[in-house]
Amino acid sequence: MKKLLFIYLFLLFVLSATVAGENRVVVIGIDGWTASSLSKADLPTVKRMMREGASTLSVVDELPTNSPTNWSSLFMSVGPDAHGLTSEGPMKAGYVPKYPSVFTLLRDQKPQSEIGAFYEWHKIKRLFSKGALNHSQHLPRMFDVSLVLSVAPYIKQKKPTLLFFHIDATDHRGHTNGFDSPKYLKTLEKYDKKIGKIENFVKKADVFADTVFMLVTDHGGKGFHHGGDSPEERYTPLVVYGKNVKKGYVIEREVKIEDIPATIAFILGVEPPEEWIGTPIDEIFMK
Ligand SMILES: [Zn+2]
């Protein structure tokens, strides 16, 4: 009997070791995403992920509340005093980020990892250190949401360990039509459907059970602008959903934007460097 129990436990161990694969993260960056849009737009995918995952509507972004500053902090887990990028000015060809990003950490510590980025804002590619990505693809023709589908073959064939997908149309709508304007909300709604598609591509690639999805942003917006210190510009949503994430969990503690890369590193099992100031939001995971 004891022997049978031993065999049973052994098989269970082998089975669980083979069923649970390596952790993967899909980060979807919605540029200029306001916290207030959640109560105004019809966003079934985002809201389902909030219901079945963990979330906050008040991540503290860095000042100035613009894209270079906050995407840098979201990748490198340091503030603008350290990374020094507070405008697009320095983001020219050959720009070298000052600190290791979550992409470079993964590349250095787990060199076999497949890392990909798809982005509507072409300049964001300057923030990915050379050699960190296996796949880097600009999506031209903003507002053409069908371009989201171009990520499908990549997910299917490469099953990335870390995928970053950047949506810029939301920020553009904010500037041309106003943040939280009907057109801005409509654009968000269109992308909400596409986020659901990306989730389905991950399911079709058979890696859904290994994957954590993160919906993030760099800043909000007020009127037709952002960059300032108003709550509308500075406090933004974060949704984490998927493998091992608690369901319907509202993050109570203050989350700063640098905690996001720290959390990605935590999920992927890579060690952050001393300079990183973020803390993993580890309370959102089931023990
Ligand atoms: Zn903008």
Which of left, alpha, beta for 176 (phi over 0: left; psi -120 to 50: alpha)?
alpha
Beta bridge partners of 54: 240, 249
What confidence score (pLDDT) does residue 283 get?
A: 97
CA of 234 to the centre of ligand 1 (A): 13
Which residues lie below 8 Å from residue 175, measured CB to CB, with a gap of 6+?
224, 225
CA of 169 to the centre of ligand 1 (A): 10
Rounded to the nearest integer, the mean pLDDT of the chain is 93
What confidence score (pLDDT) does residue 6 get?
A: 58
CA of 227 to the centre of ligand 1 (A): 8
**pLDDT at residue 172 above 50?**
yes
CA of 221 to the centre of ligand 1 (A): 8
Q: Report d(CA 5, CA 12) in Å as an integer.
A: 10
> What backbone phi and psi angles, to 5 degrees, belong to 117?
-140, 135
Reported as a pLDDT band with limits 50, 70 and 90, residue 187 is very high
Q: Which two tokens stand for residue 261?
A: 């890369």
What does the pLDDT look like over 31-67, one tens digit per residue?
Answer: 999 999 999 999 999 999 999 999 999 999 999 999 9
21 with 243: CB under 8 angstroms? no
CA of 225 to the centre of ligand 1 (A): 7
CA of 158 to the centre of ligand 1 (A): 32
Domains of the chain (ranges, CATH numbers): 29-233+241-284 (3.40.720.10)
CA of 151 to the centre of ligand 1 (A): 24
CA of 176 to the centre of ligand 1 (A): 10
73 with 83: CB under 8 angstroms? yes
- Quote the pTM value: 0.92
Q: Report d(CA 76, CA 275) in Å as an integer.
A: 9
What does the pLDDT look like over 78-133, one tens digit per residue?
Answer: 999 999 999 999 998 889 999 999 999 999 999 999 999 999 999 999 999 889 99
3-state secondary structure the chain: CHHHHHHHHHHHHHHHHHHCCCCEEEEEEECCCCHHHHHCCCCHHHHHHHHCCEEEEEEECCCCCCHHHHHHHHHHCCCHHHHCCCCCCCCCCCCCCCCCCHHHHHHHHCCCCCEEEEECCHHHHHHCCCCCCCEEEECCCCCCHHHHHHHHHHHHHHCCCEEEEEECHHHHHHHHHCCCCHHHHHHHHHHHHHHHHHHHHHHHCCCHHHEEEEEECCCCCECCECCCCCHHHHEEEEEEEECCECCCEECCCCCECCHHHHHHHHHHCCCCCCCCCCCCCHHHECC
What does the pLDDT look like over 4-27, one tens digit per residue?
Answer: 555 555 555 544 444 467 999 999
CA of 91 to the centre of ligand 1 (A): 15
Q: Report d(CA 167, CA 187) in Å as an integer.
A: 10
